[in-house]
Amino acid sequence: MKQTLIKNFSMLLGLMAMLGFSSCLKDSNYVDFGAVGTTVEIPLSGTANFSKGSLTESTDEIVKQFAVNVASPKPLGTDLTVTLSVDAAALTAYNASQTAVLFEPFPTDSYTIDKTSVVIPAGTRTQVITVTFDKTKLDPAKSYLLPITISDAQGQTINGNYRTKYYSIIGNDFAGEYQWQFTRTPAAGNFTYADGEHAIIFPVTPRIFEVAGGYFTGNIRYRVTFQKTGVGPAALYHHFSIVINPSDVTDILGAQSPPIVITTAPSIVGYVEKNYTFAEALQLLDNGLTYGVTGGSGVRKNLDQYKK
């Protein structure tokens, strides 16, 4: 069964790669795959897929996998050795390309790459790399980046857009998995902690996070901004503010007919401006995030509670 799944995965990646080539050629009406040649790549990598490598799991150990793929009209007739390496230059370049987050390298004892050289046998396309992270070795207030790059492919062309897989942790103290309770008034589609529902709080920057609520399509995101003073257990959190992600307002709520309109601005239940310990700030999330709307189905009040 495992061999069959790997074989099917390899065939799927090969098909995706070939389709990808068609979008890169100037003539969209005709694709001469025989003239394309061979490239070696990491699917779903590069800066365009940066967010796909975000590590948001709440467990101390996180295991991730990515594939090294041969994209070509047909599989190679000989074995191909592909070498990978942790790319310090890619980290420097990414930091230089943006100002939202300053990343530093993962400590060497905080991750393990199961192999940095793979042999893709003749007639096949794909090998899988496993990376295991140990979050106990990390400072949760810091942001880390691990770029893993194809550094050699025995003379084969390496796809410049898909040669580096980025794994990242943003030092936002609230990121991770939470138990989730949603209540809609009038009631419909509610669920509680006892139902085993979970939600992921995603870091946007070290001081901004987003989390989806349960209303309507179930992917309308609260965006919460806060300030932090101090470090470690003595840190204090203050100046929380909350909105609905503007894209979701336009693309989900506003796209309905008639549009769904936010009539009561988002707020944090029980929030008053003061300094909160981390435990007190978590209690605010458990108190809940709420907002009101009106639309074709009438007036609705939505309450989402997140419990660590």
DSSP bridge pairs for 130: 65
Q: Is 103 exposed, middle or buried (0-12, 13-18, 19+ CB in 10 A)?
A: buried
Q: Does the pLDDT at position 87 exceed 90?
A: yes
How many whole angstroms separate alpha carbon 194 and alpha carbon 1? 35
What are the structural domain ranges in the chain? 2-169, 176-307
**More confidently predicted of 6 and 171:** 171
Please give the model's pTM, rounded to 2 decimal places.
Answer: 0.62
Give residue 22's pLDDT band: very low, low, confident or very high (50, 70, 90).
very low
Instruction: Give the pLDDT confidence of 114-167 residue by residue, as tens digits.
Output: 999 999 999 999 999 999 999 999 987 789 999 999 999 999 999 999 999 999
287 pLDDT more than 90: yes
**In this predicted structure, what is the pLDDT of residue 9?**
40
Give one word for 35, left, alpha or beta, with left for phi > 0 and alpha for psi -120 to 50: alpha
Percent of the chain at pLDDT exceeding 70: 88
Compute the average pLDDT of residues 98-104: 89
> 132, exposed or middle or buried, with CB in 10 Å at 0-12, 13-18, 19+?
middle
Would you place residue 3 in the very low, low, confident or very high pLDDT band (cuts 50, 70, 90)?
very low
Q: What confidence tens digit (pLDDT) does each residue in 31-46 have? A: 343 455 899 999 999 9
Q: What is the rounded average pLDDT for all residues in the chain?
A: 88
Percent of residues, the chain, with pLDDT higher than 90: 72
| Helix ranges (DSSP H) in 166-297 | 246-248, 278-287
Tell me, rounded to whole angstroms, the distance of Cα 184 from its chain centroid.
28
- Residues across the chain: 308
In CATH terms, 2-169 corresponds, of 3.40.50.2300, 2.60.40.1740, 3.40.50.2000, 2.120.10.60, to 2.60.40.1740
Q: Which of 128, 131, 129 is nearest to 61 (CA)?
A: 131
> Residue 200 — pLDDT band, cuts 50, 70, 90?
confident
Say if residues 52 and 66 touch (Cβ distance below 8 Å): no
State the CATH class of domain 176-307: mainly beta
Give the per-residue pLDDT at 80.
Answer: 97
Summarised one tens digit per residue, pLDDT across range 60-86 is 899 999 999 999 999 999 999 999 999
